[in-house]
Chain A
Amino acid sequence: MSDVPKARPGSPHPAGGHGGAGSPERLDAKGQALKGLLPEVLPAFHSHISVALDEVVLTVPPERLVEVCFTLRDDPRTRFDFLRCLSVVDYVTYLEVVYHLWSMEKRHKMVVKVQVPPEAPQVPSVTGVWKGADWFEREGHDLYGVVFTGHPNLAPLLLWEGFPGYPGRKSYPFHNYTEW
């Protein structure tokens, strides 16, 4: 066990700050337009908008998530009808659920983020907004223990029933073998 990657303390981003040194903003014209548009579509969240490289990022509290997602999907100015990806990232002090969105009609993209404490990670399910979130959320529940409330069936997907622990998290032991 010479080369066991340790759970690195601290997280790459301090809460709320995205991007970070070394990765400057590279928004294209569509991204710029969207960044200007979002405060009009969601006036309550105008201070929660940031930029990570070439994506506009919106951080929302979990209890407002579904409402925001419906607005983003149905507002004629945004029309985010396609969920590109749903990921969970473990920043040790908090878990972050990341929704990558795309609009087939407008051809623009954005990211929605939700932060929850690792002890009681409860995030409302967005399966009602995008059906395709189904398996992504089950995977997030499997590997990170995030409880997506309102999901129709949070049964284990990739792991077997009764698997102990959440193997995606940083606290889960990594290489449990020795080299020979």
Chain B
Amino acid sequence: MAEARPLEVREILVNMGPQHPSTHGVFRMVLWVDGERIVRVEPHIGYLHRGSEKLCEGETYLQIPTLFDRLDYLSNFNNELAFCLAVEKLMGLEVPERAAYVRVILCELNRIASHLMFYAAFGLDVGAMTPSMYAFRERERIQQVFEAVSGARMMHDYFRVGGLRQPPPDDFKERVQRLLPLLEKGINECDTLLTHNEVFLARTRGIGKISPQEAIAWGMTGPCLRACGVPYDIRAVEPYSLYDRFDFAIPVGAQGDCWDRYMVRVEEMRQSIHIIRQALQQMPEEGPVLTPGARRLPRPPKGEVYVRTENPRGELGVYLVSDGSERPYRVKIRAPSFANLQALPVLMRDCYVADAVVILGSLDIVLGDVDR
């Protein structure tokens, strides 16, 4: 009789991406796998690196919001806002009330659109096909408002240093007011469809956990950090634009797992609707949307400024150094996805191969934002 040989055990190297439907863009990770367990992960980024920071140095302040649109291409308004706020802060420029309210409303709508996109993609990541249909129906309604306001469904280029490119359409307020109850209904529908689904819970509960201390040390922000129970929302801790005028809650999770990261975003959509309602009520009916006397080509004084805003994905920081000319001397973009993604090896410690896609999906990265 043949002697029983011990089973040969060895680690296998699995390459995932850069062209893989579940990596949400061109992202590559190399997995060291021991059976079904992941031993080590090495993320590789840079496939979408366009040198946006360097490009900014060659463009005028008027042209740069166009580049910012292309960073996080799912939340264009939020990106434009961060850059405009940075220049305005450096120049000490006040934005007319009406323009500021329109900005807030558009940014919050954009947050809902972005989270709906996350909801759809995350559903697909865990194998739920139907939710994406519902989410995209709702997102489409928001896109129609964006189209009416800026003329484009994405890449709006609508915010200007000192205000807006043009006034919103006359029926802007009515359009948004009509939209909100529909969105509310749609979000509730999405919520009941997926959140407490048994299969979904089994795939996300307790998966990809991270402690609040570790999340802070790794520089995670946004829903990913709030899912660990840290109420860190820049709209509240360091209010910018008009956010100190609104009353809203900061949803936080308890365990910092995939389900918490998902749930925080669903709750955030409801809070965004709450903010938009208040903004619509407070918004002046009439008034300019561009600071009178704002120059077409702004020239901020010499100096530097760091402005951060709460992007749907986390803290979007703009570090702007000006030498007093019509072009910035240096623009550093602190992208939320970039910082969130580097904690991936921590999140994937000892998890199963099948969970890798779920964990990556729960971070909600946009590769345009990661690579810049």
Interface size of A as a range: 35 or more
Residue contact B329 to A87, C-beta cutoff 8 Å: no
Contact B332 A167 (CB under 8 A): no
Chain B residue contacts of A158, Cβ below 8 A:
45-46, 49, 371-372
Cβ–Cβ contact B216 & A84, under 8 A: no
Cβ contact within 8 Å between A168 and B302:
no
Distance in angstroms from B365 CB to nearest chain A CB is: 13
A54–B245 Cα distance when bound, in Å, is 21
- Contact partner of B342 (CB less than 8 A), chosen from A55, A132, A175, is A132
Is A22 a contact partner of B303 (Cβ separation < 8 A)? yes
| Nearest CB on B from A127, distance (A) | 10
List of B residues within 8 angstroms of A107 by Cβ = 237-238
CB distance from A59 to the nearest CB of B (A): 13
User: In the assembled complex, how far is the CB of residue B209 from the closest CB belonging to chain A, in whole angstroms?
Assistant: 17
By beta carbon, the residue of chain B nearest A107 is: B237
Binds A, one of B24-32, B50-58, B283-291: B50-58
- What distance in Å separates the Cβ of B219 from its nearest Cβ neighbour in chain A? 3
Given contacts A85-B334, A87-B319, contact A55 B306 (CB under 8 A): yes
Q: Min CB distance, A34 to chain B, in Å?
A: 14
Q: Is B321 at the interface (CB under 8 A from chain A)?
A: yes
Given the complex, which residues of A lie within 8 Å of B217, measured CB to CB?
81, 130-132
Q: Which residue of A lies closest to B371 (CB)?
A: A158
B151 interfacial contact with A, CB 8 Å? no
Q: Give the number of chain B interface residues (Cβ < 8 Å).
A: 49
Given A53-B305, A135-B338, A159 and B329 contact (CB-CB distance below 8 Å):
no
- On whether A84 and B58 interact (CB within 8 A), knowing A53-B305, A132-B219, the answer reads no
Give the dominant DSSP class at A's interface: loop
With A20-B302, A157-B46 in contact, do A53 and B89 touch (Cβ < 8 Å)? yes
Whether A82 pairs with B306 at a CB distance below 8 angstroms is no
For A132, what are the chain B residues with a Cβ–Cβ distance below 8 Å? 217-220, 339, 342-343
Q: How far is the CB of A91 from chain B (nearest CB, A)?
A: 9
CA distance A13 to B329 in the complex (A): 11
> A82 and B216: CB pair below 8 A?
yes
- Assembly CA distance A106 to B334 (angstroms): 22
Q: Are A12 and B323 in contact (CB under 8 A)?
A: yes
Cα A35 to Cα B371 with chains together (Å): 35
Residue interface mask B329-372, A partner, CB < 8 A = 1: 11010100011011100000000000000000000000000011
Contact with B along A87-126 (1 / 0, CB 8 A): 1011000000010100010010101000000000000000
Interface flag for B131 (CB, 8 Å)? no
Docked complex Cα distance between A175 and B238 (Å):
38
Q: Give every chain A residue within 8 A of B323 (Cβ-Cβ).
A: 8, 11-12
Smallest Cβ-Cβ distance to A174: which chain B residue:
B58
In the complex, the answer to whether B49 meets A23 with C-beta atoms within 8 Å is no
Check if B303 sits within 8 Å of A20, measured CB to CB. Answer: yes
Residues of B within 8 A of A89 (CB): 321, 329-330, 332
Q: Is the CB of B219 within 8 A of A82?
A: yes
Interface string of A145-178 (1 = CB under 8 A from B): 0000000000011111000000110001011000
Cα of A21 to Cα of B323 in the assembled complex, Å: 11
A130 near B219: Cβ-Cβ < 8 Å: yes
Complex: how many Å from CA A81 to CA B306? 18
Q: With A85-B334, A89-B321, A159-B46 as known contacts, state yes or no: A8 contacts B342, CB within 8 Å.
A: no
Q: Could you say which residues of chain A place their CB within 8 Å of the CB of B343?
A: 132
Which of B322, B341, B342, B371 lies at the interface centre, i.e. has the most chain A CB atoms within 10 A of its CB? Answer: B342
Q: How far is the CB of B276 from chain A (nearest CB, A)?
A: 27
Q: How far is the CA of A126 from the CA of B54 in the complex (A)?
A: 25
Bound CA span A166–B89, Å: 30
A54 to B304, CA, bound (A): 10
Minimum CB distance partner of A53 in chain B = B305
Chain B 42-74, CB-CB to A under 8 Å as 1, else 0, gives 000110010101100110000000000000000
Task: Chain B residues near A18: list those with CB within 8 A.
Answer: 304
Q: Note all chain B residues with C-beta closer than 8 A to A22.
A: 300-303, 324
- Residue pairs across A and B with Cβ atoms less than 8 A apart, 15 shown, are A12-B323, A18-B304, A19-B303, A20-B303, A21-B302, A23-B301, A23-B305, A52-B304, A84-B306, A89-B329, A104-B216, A104-B232, A131-B218, A132-B218, A132-B339
Interface residues of A (CB under 8 A from B): 5, 8, 11-13, 18-23, 52-55, 81-85, 87, 89-90, 98, 100, 104, 107, 109, 111, 130-136, 143, 156-160, 167-168, 172, 174-175
Q: Which 3 A-B pairs have the closest CB atoms?
A: A22-B301, A132-B219, A23-B303
A52-B305, A132-B219 provided; 12 other pairs, C-beta below 8 A? A5-B57, A22-B302, A23-B301, A53-B89, A85-B317, A85-B319, A100-B334, A104-B216, A132-B343, A157-B46, A159-B46, A167-B54
